[in-house]
Structure 1
Amino acid sequence: MDHATTQGLHIISAEIGEGALDGGCKYGGRALLDAGLALVLADAGCELQSLTTVTSDPLHAHDRMDTVARFSRALADAAARRVRSGTQLLVLGGDHSCAIGTWSGVAQALSPQGRLGLIWVDAHLDAHTPESSESHAPHGMPLAALLGHGSAAFTDLFGWSGKIQARNLVIIGARSYESAERRLLEALGVQVIYMEEVVHRGFDACFAQAQATVSAGCAGWGLSFDLDGLDPADAPATGTPVRHGISLAQATAALHRCRDDARFVGLEIAEYNPLRDYGGKTASAVQALAVAGLGRDVQTLSIAPMVRTC
């Protein structure tokens, strides 16, 4: 996918909170758009084409897992359509179970050309299956599902599993996880750059290494960024903040690499909870990440605090 031939940027508001223990992140995408994120991206040089809203519907589901499965199918269909049309994606979560739908759809769209690579920035490993998870919260399962492990309702969207191959996935910033998740990822051979290594080497160096890994031999690659990957001092309004994370300044400096790579297909930002965002500090962090990864004219843009309007 070449920037010269893309048809601009498409935003998907992925409205789901049922995958988390605290469902407030369901309103994250809507709050960010109400606060003017699309206008900020336009000012940064993004050619905004359209907006899709995908909303979970627990009233017509059997349980929480079924809610996430139904939502994932709808989101996957929306993401696949947009990637096939040549647009770059910005997906605004939503709890991180939204990644099942986002990247299943992108992988499906790219499959005639090749594989999808993925960088996953997160304080957690998100590699539980229903059998290994004590909380049974689906937002702790998306990576396992994308790798082909877990509930068939999550793994087999579009009739096939293994949307991401282990060699095309790199996790950065993990510092809170369970042994079952780590064992699964180690058995599969997934590269995990834990937070200790990020501190030692710097986020930019780790991100550059991850970019080279996930893009090698792939038709395209994407970035799924859980806000709890950041330090809570910069992004406090998430469902599961973890101390000693990546600084916002380091993250935005590294994400400039995304917009300079013609193979970059999209950015997903998950776990923003506007109900906890007093003063809009975390919304400003989302704005900065989106502009860094997707903006074309960032040198002339002044990042101002965003005020939550909902």
Structure 2
Amino acid sequence: MRKLAIIGMPMDLGQTRRGVDMGPSAIRYAGINERLNTLFDEVRDLGDIEVGRPEVSIDKESNLRNLELIAEKTTSLAKKIDEVVQSGSFPLVLGGDHSIAIGTLAGVSKHYENLGVIWYDAHGDLNTAETSPSGNIHGMPLAVSLGLGHPLLINIGGYLPKVKPENIVIIGARSLDEGERELIKEKGIRVYTMHEIDRLGMTRVMEESIEYLKERTDGVHLSLDLDALDPTDAPGVGTPVNGGISYRESHLAMEMLAEANMITSAEFVEVNPILDERNKTAIVAVALMGSLFGEKLL
């Protein structure tokens, strides 16, 4: 029996542009429940994790924005995801900015010996307080999940690291800070930049990624930031970067993951309806979810 649980995480604390907290509502409005009801035996929408309207705070020591609040809220998300996995359902998280991945991975990874992660994103999100130009935590969740960063964040769930560097594949990168580039080289993280996607084609990139992760993992989490796509296809994101993955390439990637039958949890993040055009980006997110979960044309 295929069971899915949807969790909204309307959090915008990891960055400065308002609106991404409305992402879960926009995705629901775009018809996620109707779309996925036909693909699962049971779909439960568990509503949103309570985030509220907290005041912005800057941690004096680390200069990190909303550090304690993000630690508190991602801990709540981790607990909810832990419950979902234990109940035998597939956890699907709707963001929210990408800092929510700190909680998602903390809730998921404890159920696997070697969790793999596909980070489908224009950015590496591998900054720490020392390397971040902004202090925005949405640029740090992958580093945090590797056990690199502030103790309040890396210890969420009571264990670390959540993922090993050799179990990560980043797809779609085209905006990396200097510190992130150094970390990628130092840790040997596998990255397919837009150069590789253009040169090899998305089919080969996904074939290699699937083969690479199948060899070494017992579950794979997909963390999909809508800014991985080109802004012409997904305009409603906080940090758009030109020259991204196309809508068609993204569908192909999701279809290949569905065929590989290897994704065990997923999140779709950074949908910002305030910056969007007629909810286009949320509609794209829902369409990609359809492909990820096995929707077929024929």
Q: Does the TM-score normalized on the shorter chain lie above 0.5?
A: yes
Q: CA deviation at 1:43?
A: 3.5
Partner of 1:272: 271
For residue 65 of structure 1, report the CA deviation from its aligned partner: 1.1
Partner of 2:297: 299
Distance 1:281 1:33 in 2: 13
Specify the SS of the correspondent of 2:271.
Answer: coil
Give distance in 1, aligned partners of 2:87 and 2:259: 21
How many angstroms apart in 2 are the aligned matches of 1:172 and 1:245? 10
Name the counterpart of 1:126.
125
d(CA) in 2 for partners of 1:196, 1:263: 26
**Match in the other structure for 2:70:** 68
* 2:216 corresponding residue in structure 1: 217
Give, in whole Å, the separation in 1 of the partners of 2:280 and 2:56: 34
Q: Which secondary structure does the structure 1 equivalent of 2:219 belong to?
A: strand
The answer to whether the Cα contact below 8 Å between 2:97 and 2:269 also exists between their aligned partners in 1 is yes
The answer for the alignment partner of 2:110 in structure 1 is 108
2:51 maps to a residue whose letter is S
Q: 3-state DSSP class of the match of 1:16?
A: coil
Specify the alignment match of 1:80 in structure 2: 82
Amino acid at match of 2:212: T
Contact kept? 1:204, 1:251, Cα under 8 Å: no
Segments of structure 1 that go 5 or more residues without pairing to the other structure are 1-5, 301-310
Q: 2:200 aligns to what?
A: 201
C-alpha distance after superposition, 1:26-79 (max 9, x if no partner): 110122113321112214456313424213246389651111111110111111
Matched, 1:231 2:230: yes
Equivalent AA in structure 2 for residue 120 of structure 1: W
1:49 to 26, 44, 53: 44
Greater Cα offset, 246-255 or 277-286? 277-286
Structure 2 SS opposite 1:89? strand
**Number of paired residues?**
291
- Secondary structure of 2:68's counterpart equals helix
Identity fraction in percent = 35
The answer to whether the 8 A contact 2:97-2:270 is kept is yes
CA contact (8 A) 2:27 2:283 kept: no
Answer yes or no: is 1:37 the counterpart of 2:39. no
Kept in 2: contact 1:81–1:109 (CA 8 A): no
Distance 2:19 2:199 in 1: 34
Secondary structure of the 1:90 match is strand
Would the aligned equivalents of 1:28 and 1:272 in 2 still touch at CA under 8 Å?
Answer: yes
Q: State the distance in 1 between where 2:133 and 2:287 align.
A: 34
- What is the alpha-carbon distance in structure 1 between the residues aligned to residue 23 and residue 106 of structure 2? 21
Give me the whole-angstrom Cα distance separating, in 2, the residues matched to 1:43 and 1:262.
18
Residue in 1 that maps onto 2:23: 28
